[in-house]
Structure 1
Amino acid sequence: MTQRVHPEAALIQALRAVARPLTGAADDYDDLLDRIGDARFVLIGEASHGTHEFYRERARLTRRLIEEKGFTAVAVEADWPDAYRVNRYVRGQGEDENALEALRDFQRFPKWMWRNEDVQGFVDWLRDHNERYPDGVAGFYGLDLYSLHRSMNAVVEYLEGVDPEAAQRARQRYACFEQFGENPQAYGYATEYGRREPCEDAAVQQLLELQRREAELAGGPLGGDEHFYAEQNARLALNAENYYRAMFRGRDESWNIRDAHMAETLEALARHGESQGRPQKIVVWAHNSHLGDARASEMGWLRGELNLGQLTRERWPEDTFIVGLSTHHGTVTAADDWDTPARTKRVRPGLPGSVEDVFHEVSGGDFWLDLREQNAATDGLRPERLQRFIGVIYAPQTERWSHYVHTRLSEMYDALLHFDKTSAVVPLDGAAGAEPEGEVPDTFPTGE
């Protein structure tokens, strides 16, 4: 019987020549850190929101970036208020006694995305690192914009502590949203279809007041960091207001608003740290769909979508390094539909000819690739090829149409880590139960 020759045999052979094995050894990422060099923004992706190896290795690489390259912050695909509670904890502030308590604000679907054992372990490590190295403290921040009502409440609460009259003005402005209840989708629907006037002007005025009074209020009893926290909440409220209206105009527009907000928040974090006299170096954790340059994907060339990776490269072209992650098969924590319990689901092997299929044939093990190198392997990964993206929902029955997108891998990332067989992340809460009413799920409506 003749042995089947894989149609990508030449590419597979070229990849074998340059693939660097990942064995769990302490020196696994030595060469990758050399490639990262002096980059100030290292974006580390994931091919799903529920894979243990992705969270574990992302944290492992981030620890080295903080310890060896002086990175000052971790910015994640999560809501600003939820992540800021973690930020206070890792800096030795707030009332939380451990990482489990600090992660408690992550209560909306999908809770397992940030309330899982791997994130808990990293938060514990970050708190310990900051205690041991007070001159090299690293923060933890959220980049996303789903927390419309919580962010408005946080603005009012901050102002109560520094200027009660300003807090009352904020209440009056944000009262515009009260007629729509706690569901921001209802606000978006009613205002976009002309049933109610939008609250955009009120959100703009509140942000402008905080910005105008920054020097005055930041010198008050709560300090500059708390003012920055409040100002970011006001900016989030403004961008979220726009986002929820855009949801009813189409996926592409709302996606672009969301990723533009992430980029705006990343820039604000860098600017705030630098204003305190400390150059900023930031690690970003988010899905591959947000961090892999959209210009190298049909997201960009067919749908007109941009993303955080593209915007970061455009803003800091010499200081940005993007790391993608992939897997061929295994298990994943995901849901069948929105707001349904988390399940351990089996990930099907990569489709024939896909990125995942080709990488599986390279070694059947774990490795990383330097996509900035000029060689036969990176040339072979430049043409369009299917790549899998699993969000918080995994639908294997419609996998090709639900989870695969054509990309040009060598242009999308600077490096890629491949873990051939992966396992499901372990949630801190077991299976997800009924979610509180109010805000919509993280990653809505795309799942990424």
Structure 2
Amino acid sequence: MHTAATPFLAVRELARRLDENDGDFDELLEMAKGRQFVLLGEATHGTQDFYRMRAQITRRLITEGGFDAVGIEGDWPDAWRVNRFVQGEGDDDAHAALGDFERFPTWMWRNREMLDFITWLRAHNAGLSSEARVGVYGLDLYSMYRSADAVIRYLEQVDPEQAAMARQRYAALDHVREPQAYGYAAALGARPDAREGVVDQLLQLRADALTYLTRDGLAAFDAQFFAQQNAEVVVHAENYYRSMFGRRFNTWNLRDAHMHRTLLALSRYRLQRSGQGRIVVWAHNSHIGDARSTESNLRGEWNLGELMRESVGSKALLVGFTTFTGHVSAASQWDGDVEHKWVRPALHDSYEYLFHSTGLDRFFLPLVGPGAEPLREPMLERAIGVIYLPQSERESHYFGASLANQFDALFHLDETSAVEPLDTPHHWHHREEPEQTA
């Protein structure tokens, strides 16, 4: 295959159109052979097609590729309830298992596609031994108070004296139980910060781990790991919220460094459970694409994809997802109601517009080898998170990127649909329609 002269020709030469069946993912499954981590992105936090395709790919990675865990861009204790459900533990049904995702944006994980996936995973796990069952875990760090409470509850069961000590160590967090208010007061010195106490608590849990593992076999091992990771969350979340107001460190970096540490810890944990330690990650493109190839690198920001490439090299496969237009579930402001928004057609100097211009519609695009060289050329790329602001489209949702350096492969869908929240407000059904042009 010769090296294409332009990005347009490179896409036309390398892309494989999708047939809307499981065979669409054969080439990706081949690329995933021998990998320890497959990171599956999304260009928005509210596109049905991205959730559905990630679920289809993940089912095949589990059943054919030996992957035994799914890490999501969600909070650790919230996802642990889902994990218990898919392991066949507790009394939850699938709806109830998603019930701890109460923090904005609830639709990010409380949606139809996630419901269907965890229902399938529970049925899949039912035929496996406890050690072999696939788990679902949260990689994020926003759950400072819920994680602190979980540590205390665990210690109340295994070590009441240490539970009392944990309450004392976490007391400095508790004056309002609102993490940003804590961070603001601690950064200003308006009250003592909790950093020393939360670190001491994590170290204590690590030191006492073997003592707590003398009972109940695998169940005790799982419970201890859950508690220890909650203690990790408290340490990193305390630092994150305090740093929001301290002007000393980029909080984005703190968050993605936490995701990186959690992901590696999960792999070790799954291996210790006699599993494969092979993990599929569901997160936004902005987390899983290599930040060194985007303009965020100029701001001194790194991300999970970059850290994984640095730490495990080719054992990590980074896969992006893009769209040209369609609809998305997103809010207009932080903590706002979810809306059914129209995604404006991509800007002309973007990768998404380039993909649209090829006429291929929906396709898989490998980004390795000499044929992908023209796709290292920097262009704009769109990112829609939980907020979509079309009135400031260019400033709010585009950044410069070198695509073939950012990802190993990519799925492009020319037109996409909005993910349907489980808790659908009445106004969501009145979707925003495309503007009519003369």
8 Å CA contact retained: 1:239, 1:261? yes
8 Å CA contact retained: 1:146, 1:240? yes
Match of 1:441 in 2: none
Question: What is the TM-score with the length of structure 2 in the denominator?
Answer: 0.93
Match of 1:40 in 2: 36
Match of 2:436 in 1: none
8 Å CA contact retained: 1:292, 1:324? yes
What are the within-5 Å matches in structure 2 for residues 187-202 of structure 1? 187-202=182-197
What are the within-5 Å matches in structure 2 for residues 55-204 of structure 1? 55-96=51-92, 98-134=93-129, 136-179=132-175, 181-204=176-199
- Residue of structure 2 aligned with 1:415, choices 406, 409, 413: 409
Counterpart code for 1:27: G
Does residue 233 of structure 2 align to residue 241 of structure 1? no
Counterpart code for 2:286: S
Q: More deviation in 140-149 or 14-23?
A: 14-23
Does residue 377 of structure 2 align to residue 383 of structure 1? yes
8 Å CA contact retained: 1:72, 1:281? yes
Change in 2 beyond 3 A, CA 1:178/1:14 = closer
8 Å CA contact retained: 2:132, 2:275? no
Match of 2:227 in 1: 230
8 Å CA contact retained: 1:72, 1:136? yes
Provide, for residues 293-316 of structure 1, a one-character-per-residue CA deviation record: whole Å limited to 9, x for no partner: 00011111x110010001111111
Aligned residues: 421
Q: Measure the CA separation in 1 of the matches of 2:382 and 2:408.
A: 18
Provide, for residues 27-77 of structure 1, a one-character-per-residue CA deviation record: whole Å limited to 9, x for no partner: 111122112221010000000000000000011001000000110100000
Counterpart code for 2:169: R
Match of 2:418 in 1: 424
Q: Measure the CA separation in 2 of the matches of 1:339 and 1:25.
A: 37
8 Å CA contact retained: 1:218, 1:226? no
The two structures, once aligned, show a CA RMSD in angstroms of 1.6
Runs (4+) of structure 1 moved beyond 6 Å? none
5+ residue gaps, structure 2, are 428-438
Match of 1:23 in 2: 19
Match of 1:443 in 2: none
User: Which secondary structure state, in structure 2, belongs to the residue aligned with residue 195 of structure 1?
Assistant: coil
Q: Measure the CA separation in 1 of the matches of 2:71 and 2:248.
A: 24
Change in 2 beyond 3 A, CA 1:252/1:336 = farther
**Identity across matched positions, percent:** 49
Provide, for residues 389-442 of structure 1, a one-character-per-residue CA deviation record: whole Å limited to 9, x for no partner: 000000000010000010000000000000110000000000399xxxxxxxxx
8 Å CA contact retained: 2:287, 2:305? yes
Match of 2:49 in 1: 53
Change in 2 beyond 3 A, CA 1:116/1:252 = farther
Match of 1:265 in 2: 262
Question: What is the TM-score with the length of structure 1 in the denominator?
Answer: 0.91
Does residue 303 of structure 2 align to residue 296 of structure 1? no
Q: Measure the CA separation in 1 of the matches of 2:252 and 2:193.
A: 20
Match of 2:431 in 1: none
Match of 1:445 in 2: none
Counterpart code for 2:359: S
